[in-house]
Structures are given as C-alpha cells and as structure tokens.
C-alpha cells in the first residue's frame, strides 16, 4: 500500500504536522500517519476530479482506520466534505463555511481522538474546534491558490467574488485582506477554545498536539503581520521559526499544560452552526 505507515507523506504534505509528529509515541504515531494518509489520499483524488470510492488504496486505508474505532458515519462526513470540492458551490455565510470546515477538518480531529484513545465526551467538542481553526487558517493562507482551482471559500456575504479576485486593485486587495483578517480572528477563537481540551490528551502525546496547534496558529499570525503578501506568495513558517516555536511551546507545556490550567467548559455557541452534525456540542 505504498504510503501507508510511511512518515514521508506527512513531511511532503504538511511539514507543520511533521514537526509535531516527532513528539508522538511510536504506537500512536503509526495510527496518526494512517489517518493522515487516508485524509491526504481523499484530497489528492478529489484534486484529480475522481470519486473516492474508485480508489483501492483509499478503501484499504479506510479498513485500517476503522479498526481504531472510527465510525463509518464519521468517515462519511469527511468524504462528503471533501467530495463537495469536486462540484464546488460557494458558501453563503460563515455558518455554511463552518459546517464545511467541520466536515473536512473537525471530523479529522474526531478521528485523532481514536488514535489517542481518548474516550471523554467533552474532548470531542475541543477536537472539532481545533480542526475548524486549522481549516480556517488553511483557507486564509490559500486564497489565491484555491481561486486558481475555481474555488472561493470566503462566503458570498463578504462581497468577495470572481471579479474581486481577478482584479487585484488596491481597493480589492484591502477588501480581501479585511475579510481574511476576520476569518483569522474566528480561527483564533477556535484555537483558544481547543486549548481547554488539552487536559483530555494523554500526557505523552499532549505536547505534540500543542506544537501542531502553535505552528499552525503562527501561520495565521504571519498572514496578518505581512500585510498583502499572502495574495502574492505562499506564506509559510520557516524551519528556524518552527524551531523557535517548538522550544517556546516546550516551556509553555511545562508551565501550563503538564498539569493543565486551561479547564473551561466548552462554549456551546461555537457549535451553533453545526447542530445536526456528529458529536457537536448541542447541549
């Protein structure tokens, strides 16, 4: 099965996760790699305009991750979200965008709970939040690249359309910048919420998830701090910056997360747009 159990798939497709994966226990890492590989294959298949059901490798990986206790229903949510990119339709507002983010990333957060063998019900809410935050960061970073694939993930009610994206006047660039800034503010709200879920993660894996969170969050900060650069070149966190984040996060872990100080209950209003989806906070 080629890339299954192969750490290279993470390095090649997400160097941020690769750095974080170095801190995972071996048994957990193998599960994470298989889940990540399954998700990565879905994206690759859809980018080729094919249906996931026609991929033998995807089906084999599906059987593997189901053995971890991941349900068919959750896998279907992920596949439904990814398949929606084949015949892409604009999202009307943030509520629709958040439901998409749940399907393609929040569902992955839920899958990772199985890899980490976390059973606590409330942990699911925070795992969803972390996935959504990361997806909002992805969308903000890849505005131009996605437009070249005929996808504008920024909701219709933001006023960003094809005319705006194809005509990069100063006014239009600033309009896009403002919209992306608001999206990243929303991402930070979900990142902050997800920190309260760290207490549910086994201590030997906790620092890895925290590092992944901080590296991804740093991408959003860099987008904000570099003005309009994200519209003209890929924004990424360099190896030197990642190393600094890792060192800083280790100290943060020892002070705040070894014995977690972030213990707030989940804010149900964060999932107001997600009602009806699997494992969301609908209390």
The more confidently predicted of residues 122 and 45 is 122
pLDDT at 214: 97
d(CA 156, CA 159): 6
Within 13 Å and on the Cβ side, how many CA atoms surround 105?
19
pLDDT in tens, 181-199: 999 999 999 999 999 999 9
With tokens 């958040």, the residue in question is 98
Output the pLDDT for position 59. Answer: 86
Confidence (pTM): 0.94
The Cβ of residue 70 has, within 10 Å, a number of other Cβ atoms equal to: 23
If one counts every other C-beta atom within 10 angstroms of the C-beta of residue 35, the result is: 20
What gap in Å lies between CA 107 and CA 92, rounded to an integer? 22
If we measure between CA atoms, which residue out of 275, 271, 185 comes closest to residue 223?
185
Q: Is 90 exceeded by the pLDDT of residue 266?
A: yes
Domain locations in the chain as residue ranges: 71-274
Q: What pLDDT does residue 42 have?
A: 83
Question: CB neighbours (10 Å) of residue 144?
Answer: 15
Question: Are 34 and 3 in contact, with CB atoms under 8 Å apart?
Answer: no
Domain 71-274 CATH superfamily: Farnesyl Diphosphate Synthase (1.10.600.10)
- Phi first, then psi: what are they for 277, rounded to 5°? -90, 160
Task: Give me the pLDDT at residue 13, please.
Answer: 56
Alpha-carbon dihedral 73, 46, 44, 37, rounded to 10 degrees: 0
DSSP states along 55-82: -HHHHHHHHHHHTTT--HHHHHHHHHHH
State the maximum Cα–Cα separation within the chain, in Å, rounded to a whole number.
Answer: 52
Which pLDDT does position 100 carry in this prediction?
Answer: 98
pLDDT at residue 1 is higher than 60 = no
120-164 tens-digit pLDDT:
999 999 999 999 999 999 999 999 999 999 999 999 999 999 999
Q: What's the token pair of residue 194?
A: 């997800």
């Amino acid at each position: 099965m080629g890339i299954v159990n192969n750490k290279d798939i993470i390095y090649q497709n997400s160097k941020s996760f690769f750095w974080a994966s170095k801190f995972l226990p071996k048994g957990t890492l193998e599960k994470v790699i298989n889940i990540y590989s399954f998700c990565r294959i879905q994206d690759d298949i859809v980018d080729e305009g094919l249906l996931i059901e026609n991929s033998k490798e995807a089906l084999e990986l599906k059987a593997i991750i189901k053995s971890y206790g991941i349900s068919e229903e959750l896998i279907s949510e992920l596949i439904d979200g990814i398949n929606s990119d084949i015949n892409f339709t604009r999202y009307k507002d943030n509520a629709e965008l958040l439901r998409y983010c749940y399907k393609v990333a929040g569902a992955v957060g839920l899958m990772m709970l199985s890899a980490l063998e976390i059973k606590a019900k409330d942990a699911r809410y925070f795992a969803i939040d972390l996935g959504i935050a990361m997806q909002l960061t992805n969308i903000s970073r890849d505005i131009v690249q996605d437009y070249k694939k005929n996808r504008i993930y920024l909701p219709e009610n933001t006023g960003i359309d094809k005319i705006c994206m194809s005509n990069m006047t100063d006014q239009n660039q600033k309009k896009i910048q403002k919209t992306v800034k608001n999206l990243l503010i929303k991402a930070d709200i979900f990142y902050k919420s997800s920190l309260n879920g760290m207490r549910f993660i086994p201590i030997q894996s906790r620092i890895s998830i925290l590092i992944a969170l901080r590296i991804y969050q740093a991408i959003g900060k860099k987008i904000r701090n570099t003005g309009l650069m994200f519209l003209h070149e890929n924004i990424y966190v360099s190896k030197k910056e990642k190393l600094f984040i890792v060192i800083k996060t280790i100290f943060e872990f020892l002070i705040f997360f070894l014995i977690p100080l972030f213990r707030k209950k989940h804010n149900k209003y964060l999932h107001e747009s997600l009602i009806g989806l699997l494992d969301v906070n609908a209390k």
